[in-house]
């Protein structure tokens, strides 16, 4: 009883657990290759159920180390884990720096783990959209838990973490100015705060400070961020961290607003895709627009302003229709 239509070969291979097919599809998404579209279209029906945990926070607080510890914890419980590491701050490294930092000892021959690092290419929206598509591919490939690490704490990170279902903001003792940065960007999006490096002095104070800050903030969708203390290298607190993540997942899935929130997200995605397509088509057609070529000389010599020129181009196009 298979009511689903047959999948294209690349999508079928990915669903059947072919890791090279998965890797190829991810590369296609990264490169903006049109071939990725067919795969993503075919696989969409198999997505939307995964627990997607975003880990964000200042440089060096231990996000990658926590990802490693979480992977160990989840694998011991039989859960398969997909990992995406996004470096939005360094478009030129090819993501290798960040990839090097996550060392997954088990990943080599463990089919229950799939790791991929992504470099940022293009706009903020482009990176966030590519990350969302890669998560969908991982999900369709059978990874029901996906961990997404980003470096930094700016607006790019906030945009990327929109796609997570639970957002963990990681800090460490004695961050000083970094906490101010957090407040400017990531603070509002946290579902769970994680004070890592609890083996170092000052972790208790940092946890207390964060708890007070979290209590002051307005609860988002009725959820008050939880604060946990971990040491990724001990390791300790990993179970508590996962328990907090699961508590948020349970809250989220039981929320009466869940469907409405999902509708809003998907509506925004459709509008974004329509806008991208219209903008691209328009840019292409304007390239050879005769009225634009004629008006440009006058704008260059300042006898016509760009606003009026734009109006005249639109009027000329409307007349030709």
Ligand X SMILES: Nc1nc2c(ncn2[C@@H]2O[C@H](COP(=O)(O)OP(=O)(O)OP(=O)(O)O)[C@@H](O)[C@H]2O)c(=O)[nH]1
- Site for ligand X, rule CB under 6 A: 59-65, 98, 101, 151, 196-197, 199-200, 231-233
Q: Residue 150: name its binding partner from ligand X, Mg ion, none (Cβ under 5 to 8 Å by kind).
A: none
Is residue 169 within 8 A of residue 186, CB to CB? The reply is: yes
Mark residues 73-112: x for contact with Mg ion by CB under 5 A, - for none.
----------------------------x-----------
233 binds, among Mg ion, ligand X, none (CB under 5 to 8 A by kind): ligand X
**Could you say whether residue 116 binds Mg ion (CB under 5 A)?**
no
Kindly indicate which of the ranges 61-69, 198-206, 238-246, 283-291 contains the residues binding Mg ion, using the contact rule CB under 5 A: 61-69
Question: Is there binding between residue 136 and Mg ion (CB under 5 A)?
Answer: no
199 binds, among Mg ion, ligand X, none (CB under 5 to 8 A by kind): ligand X
Nearer to Mg ion, 101 or 167 (CB): 101
Nearer to Mg ion (CB atom), residue 63 or residue 161: 63
**Please, what is the minimum distance in Å from the beta carbon of residue 259 to ligand X?**
34
64 scored as a contact of Mg ion (CB under 5 A):
yes
Work out how close the CB of 85 gets to Mg ion at its nearest, in angstroms, rounded to a whole number.
7
Minimum separation from the CB atom of position 146 to ligand X (A): 17
| Binding site partner of 65, from Mg ion, ligand X, none, Cβ cut-off 5-8 A by kind | ligand X
Q: Can you give the chain as a three-state secondary structure string?
A: CCCCCCCCHHHHHHHCCCHHHHHHHHHHHHCCCCHHHHHHHHHHHHCCCCEEEEEEECCCCCHHHHHHHHHHHHHHCCCCEEEEEEECCCCCCCCHHHHHHCCCCCCCCCCCEEEEEEECCCCHHHHHHHHHHHHHHHHHCCCCEEEEEECECCHHHHHHHCCCCEEEEEECCCCCHHHHHHHHCCHHHCCEEEECCCCCCCHHHHHHHHHHHHHHCCCECCECCEEEECECCCCECHHHHHHHHHHHHHHHHHCCCHHHHHHHHHHHHHHHHHHHHHHHHHHHHHHCCHHHHHHHHHHHCCCCCHHHHHHHHHHHHHHHC
What's the min distance (Å) between Cβ of 161 and Mg ion?
A: 15
The residue (of 24 and 229) whose beta carbon lies closer to ligand X is 229
Residue 102 or residue 313: which is nearer to ligand X going by CB? Answer: 102
User: Which CB atom, from 200 or from 268, has the smaller least distance to ligand X?
Assistant: 200
């Amino acid at each position: 009883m298979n009511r689903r239509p047959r999948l294209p070969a690349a999508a079928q291979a990915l669903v059947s657990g072919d890791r090279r097919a998965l890797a190829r599809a991810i590369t296609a998404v990264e490169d903006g290759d049109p071939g990725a579209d067919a795969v993503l279209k075919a696989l969409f029906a198999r997505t939307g159920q995964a627990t997607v945990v975003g880990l964000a926070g200042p440089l060096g607080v231990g996000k990658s180390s926590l990802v490693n510890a979480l992977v160990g914890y989840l694998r011991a419980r039989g859960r398969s884990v997909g990992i995406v590491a996004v470096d939005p701050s360094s478009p030129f490294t090819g993501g290798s720096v960040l990839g090097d930092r996550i060392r997954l000892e088990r990943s080599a021959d463990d089919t229950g783990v799939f790791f991929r690092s992504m470099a940022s290419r293009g706009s903020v929206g482009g990176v966030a959209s590519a990350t969302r598509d890669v998560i969908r591919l991982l999900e369709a490939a059978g990874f029901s838990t996906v961990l997404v690490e980003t470096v930094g704490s700016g607006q790019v990170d906030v945009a990327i973490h929109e796609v997570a279902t639970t957002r963990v903001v990681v800090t460490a003792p004695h961050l000083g100015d970094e906490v101010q940065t957090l407040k400017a960007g990531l603070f509002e999006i946290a579902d769970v705060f994680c004070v890592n490096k609890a083996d170092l002095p000052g972790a208790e104070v940092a946890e207390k400070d964060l708890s007070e800050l979290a209590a002051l903030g307005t609860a988002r969708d009725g959820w008050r961020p939880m604060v946990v203390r971990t040491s990724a290298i001990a390791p300790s607190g990993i179970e508590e961290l996962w328990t907090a993540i699961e508590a948020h997942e349970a809250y989220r899935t039981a929320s009466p607003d869940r469907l409405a929130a999902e509708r809003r997200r998907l509506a925004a995605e459709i509008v974004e895709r329509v806008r991208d397509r219209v903008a691209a088509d328009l840019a292409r057609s304007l390239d050879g627009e005769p009225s634009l070529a004629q008006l440009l000389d006058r704008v260059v010599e300042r006898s016509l302003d760009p606003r009026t020129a734009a109006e005249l181009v639109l009027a000329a196009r409307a007349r030709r229709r």
